[in-house]
Amino acid sequence: MKPYTDILLLSLVVIWIVDVSGFTASWMDALSRWLNRQIKPVKPFACSLCMTWWTGLAYALITGNLTIPIIAYIALLAYLSFPISQLMIFIHSTLLRWMSPR
């Protein structure tokens, strides 16, 4: 059960970094300024689905857990990356609304 939990947590971190935190836009803007030209989003680095897929596969391969069920689980998490990011944003917004003074 541990590889499933680890891959889920890894996916949550990847989705947060790519979709929610704004880190991807920040490093792409910095790179654009440094190169003096507009950099377009680069897959897999600007795509939470791609990053979830590849980091999950890399983790499973490195830990020796690369099996068909694990690959299917990684595919499911990658497929659900956008809904997961939207759920994170919803939870954050809801908590802010509950905590803000009225």
DSSP 53-73: HHHHHHHHHHHT---HHHHHH
**pTM reported for the whole predicted model:** 0.83
pLDDT score of 46 more than 80: no
For the chain, domain boundaries: 2-99
Q: How confident is the model at residue 86 (pLDDT cuts 50, 70, 90)?
A: very high
pLDDT score of 1 more than 80: no
The pLDDT of residue 36 is 83
- Separation in Å, CA 14 to CA 4, 98, 99: 15, 27, 27
pLDDT tens-place string over residues 21-31: 877 777 777 77
CB-facing half-sphere around the CA of 74: CA atoms within 13 A? 24
